[in-house]
């Protein structure tokens, strides 16, 4: 099988490979200890409280916020295992437009934790439906865009998506049993 025939697994970064909300909470505790932690039962970041929104903006616009997000247990190893099994793994993440540094900081995170090969395949796209793949592992519910996606979504389980129909990946150690059947199973080398 050639590299161009390999199945493509797109993998979101925030709240899928890295703990965005945990990192946000740590930043809020450090910069704005008067602000409550994020309600992890909801995906929504922004709300009606102007002061809270300003506190969140202070945290996520820090230059190194995205470059220093903590990785979920097993995520790095799972992505490398997928790649070794012949699956083309593409980190497919959306930019945070309120932080213009998010593009370069996310690329720096990928380089530091996954290596240059993953940076070369990195897709930073506001509209993930424009990115070709067989499977997209993402926590976000209701992904829409300009096109009908070519990929099938696998929800990386979070409290706000646990009751959504469709395949779920609860932890990275289970990637093979969830993703392999969706892309034809087996070793793709």
State the burial class of residue 166 (Cβ atoms within 10 Å of its Cβ: 0-12, 13-18, 19+): exposed
> Which residue carries 């199945």 as its tokens?
7
From 5, 14, 73, 187, the catalytic residue: 14
The DSSP bridge pattern shows strands 135-138 and 152-156 to be parallel
> What's the CA gap between 113 and 99, in Å, rounded?
21
> What's the CA gap between 10 and 90, in Å, rounded?
5
> What's the CA gap between 79 and 109, in Å, rounded?
14
Q: Is 4 helix (H, G, I), strand (E, B) or coil?
A: helix
Active site residue 12: yes
Active site residue 14: yes
> What's the CA gap between 21 and 3, in Å, rounded?
35
> What's the CA gap between 58 and 183, in Å, rounded?
41
List CB contacts of 6: < 8 A, sequence separation 6 or more.
Answer: 86, 87, 88, 188
From 5, 12, 48, 58, the catalytic residue: 12
Active site residues: 12, 14
């Amino acid at each position: 099988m050639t590299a161009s025939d390999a199945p493509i697994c797109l993998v979101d970064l925030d709240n899928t490979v890295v703990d965005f909300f945990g990192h946000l909470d740590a930043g809020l505790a450090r910069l704005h200890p008067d602000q409550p932690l994020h309600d992890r039962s909801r995906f929504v970041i922004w709300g009606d409280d102007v002061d809270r929104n300003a506190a969140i903006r202070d945290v996520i616009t820090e230059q190194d916020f995205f470059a220093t997000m903590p990785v979920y247990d097993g995520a790095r190893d799972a992505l490398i295992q997928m790649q070794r099994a012949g699956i083309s793994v593409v980190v497919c993440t959306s930019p945070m437009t309120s932080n213009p540094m998010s593009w370069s900081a996310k690329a720096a995170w990928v380089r530091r934790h996954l290596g240059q090969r993953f940076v070369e395949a990195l897709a930073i796209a506001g509209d993930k439906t424009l990115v070709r793949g067989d499977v997209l592992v993402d926590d976000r519910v209701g992904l829409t865009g300009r096109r009908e996606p070519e990929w099938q979504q696998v929800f990386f389980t979070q409290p706000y998506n646990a009751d959504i129909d469709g395949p779920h990946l609860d932890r990275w150690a289970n990637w093979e049993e969830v993703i392999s059947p969706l892309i034809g199973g087996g070793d793709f080398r």
